[in-house]
Chains A and B, each alone.
Chain A
Amino acid sequence: MEKILLYIISGETRASWDRAVEISKGLSATLYALFIVDKDLVKTVANMRGLNEIDTAIQIEEEGWKYLYYLEDKAVNEGVKTALFVEEGDSIDILRRFVKERNIELLIVGHRSGQGVEGRKVERMIQQMIEYVQCPILIEKEGGKR
């Protein structure tokens, strides 16, 4: 296996980061790390915080880059080849395209259950991911079992 994709949803899914580094190292695979500035998430967060969508998207993107660089720091220390990506739009569309265009062989995603409305949204997205993304998916349950 040469190409593994870690889809970073939030900073609360760090067990999946460790798993992705561990697997990539074990298989000498390149780790692609992707953060998506999801358009629906931007709308929801902007409404919740009473901010406009542009400022909210900027804040979310910068948070995303921080997650990516934390992940990269960890991966590089383990000698894992890492490439970072930020994209904007619909998460499922982007994941489908990304996996197809780059011939990703394994998608890793972290999931923490029981987070109210946000938790249910993530669960729905993971269901869609399983349905539409054309590669094996490893769902790392944060603080629990895989």
Chain B
Amino acid sequence: MIEEFLDEDLIIVVDKIEDKFAMIEKMIDQALRKGIIMTREPILHKIREREELESTGVVEGIAIPHARTEAVKDLLMVIGVVKEGLDFNSLDGKPVNIVFLIVAPEEAKSKYIQVLARISRICRQEDFRKTLLDATSPSEVISILGKFDT
């Protein structure tokens, strides 16, 4: 189910980055560069608004910033891996290494919630987190997600 939203061009792996909003901007810019989205500001605004309300750093090194906005036509998923942990104001206080940015149009609420639920469920598996952190390329990230997306 998640595989249909995965795209090697929308997976970025960085060693380190200054803060969570820099990471989110980088991920949105990647989608912009690849022509998947036409504008960055409304998406960034929605994500910032959500993050300022409460961090989406869920648990154990994973963050899932997400929002619905008319600025996207289809569900967008960008995956970021930060080798050196990132402070995401997570609920458990731990640094984040894996970021799933999920943005969907307003009318795609059901699909949006299904994808968030699947990602959240997979991310609770320790095996998944460890394997994904060892990934060295976007194709490897896709392959790992495919293996756990059942």
Chain A residues with a Cβ under 8 A of chain B: 30, 58, 61-63, 65-66, 68-70, 73, 76, 79-84, 86
Contact with B113, one of A61, A70, A80, A81 (Cβ below 8 angstroms): A70
> Is there contact, CB below 8 Å, between A83 and B54?
yes
Query: Quick one: closest B residue to A88, CB to CB?
Result: B124
A and B contact pairs by CB, cutoff 8 A, 7 listed:
A58-B121, A62-B121, A68-B117, A69-B113, A69-B120, A73-B68, A86-B120
Query: Quick one: closest B residue to A61, CB to CB?
Result: B121
Q: Which 10 A-B pairs rank lowest in CB-CB distance, beginning with the nearest?
A: A65-B117, A66-B117, A81-B54, A69-B113, A65-B120, A69-B116, A62-B121, A61-B121, A62-B117, A66-B113
Classify chain B's interface size: 10 to 19
> Is there contact, CB below 8 Å, between B120 and A76?
no
Assembled-state Cα–Cα distance A92/B64 (Å) = 28
Query: Quick one: closest B residue to A55, CB to CB?
Result: B150
> Is there contact, CB below 8 Å, between A81 and B109?
no
Q: Separation in Å of the B84 CB from the closest CB of chain A? A: 25
Assembled-state Cα–Cα distance A63/B118 (Å) = 9
A79 with B113, Cβ < 8 A, contacts A65-B121, A86-B120 known: no
Residues of B103-117 contacting chain A, CB below 8 A = 109, 112-114, 116-117
Assembled-state Cα–Cα distance A144/B36 (Å) = 48
Q: Separation in Å of the B46 CB from the closest CB of chain A? A: 10
Assembled-state Cα–Cα distance A79/B113 (Å) = 19
